[in-house]
Amino acid sequence: MTASTETVTLEPLDARGREIVFTHARTVNSFADTPVSDEELRDIWELTRFTPTMANTQPLRVVYVRTPEGKDRLVEHLAEGNRAKTASAPVTAIVAYDKKWHEEIPNVFPIRPEMKDHFEADEAARHGAGNFSAALQAGAFILAIRAAGLAAGPMGGFDKDGIDAEFFPEGDWTTLMVVNIGHPGESPWFDRLPRVSVDKAVAWA
């Protein structure tokens, strides 16, 4: 693995791209009946997997739930206010963290394969590094849904242990987030709420 010596000029995302991914994108609470294809779901992951992670370790995993049977298994572990919109969404993603992510190190970071043994021996370091990287990927997963031309409805309000027992009984993966995916339905979002201003959120040193 060698670093490129070429000078690279980066281009900003154009105004429409910024609207799609950031400024005009909204959390969706109702969904149209329009189906979401396998290709669209794969595209979301193709974008997400290029998120920066510690040593390229990529600990995020996703289960796309879209069959009636799968939805029934999932919905019972959601808060009451999340059940109807999840049942109506074409797809719901269980975004999970792979607790054995370090086993992929020889494949994804071949210049330092010995790191696998280091993280195998140090559980606290393994989960500290892994959870940080998975959180980076989870945020990018939402942006990837938007970039793929779909709407995302990320949710809290679920029984994590219940979902883990239902979908990950072997215990290797654990739920981080649940995200409904599809096209906006009728009255899909609430009014835009205020954002924290630059003056309050940004400091200069």
Strand partners, 135: none
Domain total of the chain: 1
Decide if 192 is inside a domain.
no
Q: What is the mean pLDDT of residues 138-159?
A: 97
- Residues 96 and 29: their CA atoms lie apart, in Å, by 22
Q: What is the greatest pairwise CA distance in the chain?
A: 55
Q: What is the mean pLDDT of residues 107-114?
A: 97
* CATH, residue 47: 3.40.109.10
pLDDT tens for 11-54 read 999 999 999 999 999 999 999 999 999 999 999 999 999 999 99
pLDDT of residue 143: 98
First-to-last alpha carbon distance for the chain, in angstroms, is 35
47, 149 contact by CB (below 8 A): no
Write the single-letter amino acid at 50. Answer: F
26, 145 contact by CB (below 8 A): no
Decide if 95 is inside a domain.
yes
Decide if 8 is inside a domain.
no
pLDDT of residue 1: 63
pLDDT of residue 87: 95
pLDDT of residue 5: 76
Decide if 114 is inside a domain.
yes
Total length of the chain: 205
* Residue 87 neighbours by CB under 8 Å, 6+ apart: 71, 75
Q: Please give the residue range of the domain that contains residue 110.
A: 37-62+86-152+175-185
User: Comparing C-alpha atoms, which of 66, 74, 53, 49 is closest to residue 165?
Assistant: 74
142, 179 contact by CB (below 8 A): yes
Decide if 3 is inside a domain.
no
Which value, to the nearest 10 degrees, does the dihedral of the CA atoms of residues 64, 75, 167, 129 take? 70
Which value, to the nearest 10 degrees, does the dihedral of the CA atoms of residues 77, 80, 98, 168 take? 10
Decide if 102 is inside a domain.
yes
Decide if 167 is inside a domain.
no
Decide if 74 is inside a domain.
no
- Residues 43 and 141: their CA atoms lie apart, in Å, by 11
